[in-house]
Structure 1
Amino acid sequence: MIGSEDEAKAWLTEQFGAATLSRLELLAELLVTENAAQNLIAAGTVPHLFQRHVADSAQLLRFVSRETAGHWLDLGSGAGFPGLVVAACRPDWAVGLVESRPLRVDWLQRAALALKLENVTVFGSRVERLETMQCDVISARAFAPLLKTLHVAARFSTSETLWLLPKGRSAQQELATAGSSADMFHVEQSFTDPDAGILVGQIGGKRGGKA
């Protein structure tokens, strides 16, 4: 369990290397500055940014094989979690960030440029209006309840697409109220919060799991 900023940075360095940590530190600096102009993250989480946001995002990569690259779609990217972090940690993946709010679209575009993330595409659109594409991984953090997420984004998924949905403390509750959809997902423990969970699944019926 990652319990501090130092532990988060040490884990990120171990998993992705010092160069990636430097890039993520630049992301953190840019975000803190931008947060004064628009409320990207809660002010109370700024002192714990690496634990609560950066490592919390990067931990999703433990479910994705290191041996393959593909197309990752992040719904409701907002401040860039997990999408920008995933793109920084895995530059071999094409990462699409979907965000409809203009100020946040602008932030995501500027951040990707500053971080030299050539693998990032920012879609300034509601998910419902986005052109259909096939994705290998779909993520959504603080986007919508499970059933609504599936309703608006299932068309981007194949039977092999892995869904990674950080749900905080509501993971078990969402699963319990999802009806038959619950059969396609299971809860994985978060590395950054002992009370938080991640919904992991494949809507073709094949359960997601660790790589």
Structure 2
Amino acid sequence: MTEDGARAWIGDAFSPTADQWARLERFARMLIAENAQQNLIAASTIPTIWVRHIADSAQLLALDMGGEGLWVDLGSGPGLPGLVVAILSDRPMLLVESRKRRCDFLRAVVAELDLSHVEVAEAPLERVETRAAATISARAFAPLDKLIDLSARFSTESTHWLLPKGRNAVKELALLPEPWQRMFHVEQSRTDAESQILVGRGKIAAKQRGKR
């Protein structure tokens, strides 16, 4: 996928309004500018920011079209995928990030783009108040078993899990306890032929933890 191809795919998939396009463009510029101050994304990915970060995040929303309710983005970092999802939809969004400088950036983007449906939780996930999540995403948060264990208390029977895991998706899934494995299937990334996304639905029960 090229940069033009990424924009075209977003246009076809979401039919963004002029305001949404402007917000995406502004977010991309803010991300590049802030990257000079703190390491948010790999510098080598800046020339392909629309493929590697904007479309790569937007594809998670495409996997949850028609969903509603609270979306919780774990280890949101620079707001990927959370801020992209929040620009392209009106889903209530909780960005969980423990690092202060990254949270300062997230809050600056939320204010600049007037994303009133976005909340930033500046804390380790263990200290975030439990809420029922309709969707849980995590682009680069933790190894899969730890990610699921830490976020289990946010899940319900209808929670949708969207977990990009690069080329190791199948391998990480195979290491999970069997009840967890059955909750997930693998989707191919639209933006990277070597990357995959774990897509699941359901509640992680406490009794499942640690059992294979």
Alignment TM-score > 0.5, same fold: yes
* CA positional deviation for 1:170: 1.2
Cα distance per residue 1:162-194 (max 9 Å; x no partner):
010011111111112113121211110000001
AA of the residue aligned to 1:14: D
- CA change 1:203–1:146 in 2 (3 A) is farther
2:156 is equivalent to residue 155 of structure 1: no
1 CA distance for matches of 2:117 and 2:110?
Answer: 9
Indicate yes or no: 2:132 matched with 1:131.
no
| Structure 2 unaligned blocks of 5 or more | 205-212
Matched with 1:177 is: 175
Q: Deviations over 1:76-101 (max 9, x none)?
A: 0001100000100102x100000000
Give the SS at the match of 1:80.
coil
Helix, strand or coil: the match of 2:133? coil
- Displacement of 1:61: 1.3
- 2: CA distance, partners of 1:107 / 1:62: 25
1:72-87 aligned at under 5 Å gives the runs 72-87=71-86
Q: Percent identity?
A: 51
Over 3 Å counting, the alpha-carbon distance change for 1:29 and 1:104 in structure 2 is same
Q: Deviations for 1:99-157, whole angstroms, at most 9, x for unmatched residues?
A: 00000000000011111111100000100000111010000011011110111110001
Partner of 2:195 in structure 1?
196
1:133 and 1:179 mapped to 2: Cα distance? 24
1:23 matches 2:61: no
Equivalence for 2:209:
none
* Contact 2:56 2:190 (8 Å CA) reproduced: yes
Report the CA distance between 1:18 and its aligned residue: 4.3
Do 1:109 and 1:122's aligned partners in 2 also have CA atoms closer than 8 Å? yes
Partner of 2:97: 99
Partner of 1:144: 142
Aligned positions, number: 201
* SS class of match (2:12): helix
Amino acid at match of 1:108: L
C-alpha distance in 1, partners of 2:82/2:203?
24
How high is the TM-score relative to the length of structure 2? 0.91
Structure 1 runs (4+) deviating above 4 angstroms are none
Deviation of the 1:204 alpha carbon:
3.6
In the aligned structure 1, how far is the partner of 2:152 from the partner of 2:131?
10
1:50 corresponds in structure 2 to 50
* Range moving further from structure 2, 74-83 or 15-24: 15-24
Asked if the contact 1:184/1:202 (under 8 Å) is kept, the reply is: yes
Measure how far apart 1:203 and its partner are: 3.5
Deviations 1:44-69 (A, max 9, x none): 00001010011000001122133x52
Q: Measure the CA separation in 2 of the matches of 1:62 and 1:13.
A: 12
Helix, strand or coil at the partner of 2:94: strand
Could you tell me which residue of structure 1 aligns to residue 164 of structure 2?
166
1:39 matched residue in structure 2: 39
d(CA) in 2 for partners of 1:132, 1:176 = 28
Q: TM-score, normalised by structure 1?
A: 0.92
Query: What is the rounded CA distance, in whole Å, between the counterparts of 1:59 and 1:170 in structure 2?
Result: 18
